[in-house]
Amino acid sequence: MAERLLLDMDGVMADIYQQAINFEFEESGKLIALEDVVGKDEIVAFPNAKRHVRQKGFFRTAPVMQGAQKVVRELDEAYELFIVSAAMEFPNSLEEKYYWLEEHFPFISWRNVILCGSKVPVSGDILIDDHYKNLDPFQNRSLLFTQPHNVAEDRGHERVNNWEEIARLLL
């Protein structure tokens, strides 16, 4: 049986930073540069983020991370792939994340999508995530997807910077 690979959505498959930049610019006219938010949590980095993540369309219209669609398709053929995303905290995210996946990753069966509150109970052989809160309790191989909020810290997880690196490591 193939190894079970767990993929996070926000900050790994979906470009949440670009989405936050887009929403902030649309509302305030202020263009926030990625280099200005390095080392800051998303909610701190973007002044209106707490409201934006609750807005209809925030998760549904997030851009896809460059290279994700091609590599995820290849990973889906090589692994027992599951998408695992926290989707209970923000009211619209559950439905929006489902439809976002259906649009951008239609080859992933709904049976392989876990939209949850905490990822701790979900088990697998490999987890790719951008948050330490999900990687630290994970018992097996963990890959930290680089995002501005995690650049300055190192807790011993394998770091990947993009989907090309993931392909080289796992395919």
The residues assigned a catalytic role are: 8, 10
As given in the structure block, the two tokens for residue 73 are 């398709």
- Tokens 């049986």, located at residue: 1
Contacts of 98 (CB under 8 A, 6+ apart): 110, 113, 115
As given in the structure block, the two tokens for residue 54 are 């609750």
Contacts of 140 (CB under 8 A, 6+ apart): 124, 125, 126, 127
Contacts of 108 (CB under 8 A, 6+ apart): 72, 76, 81, 83, 101
Tell me whether strands 126-129 and 113-116 are parallel, antiparallel or unpaired.
Answer: unpaired
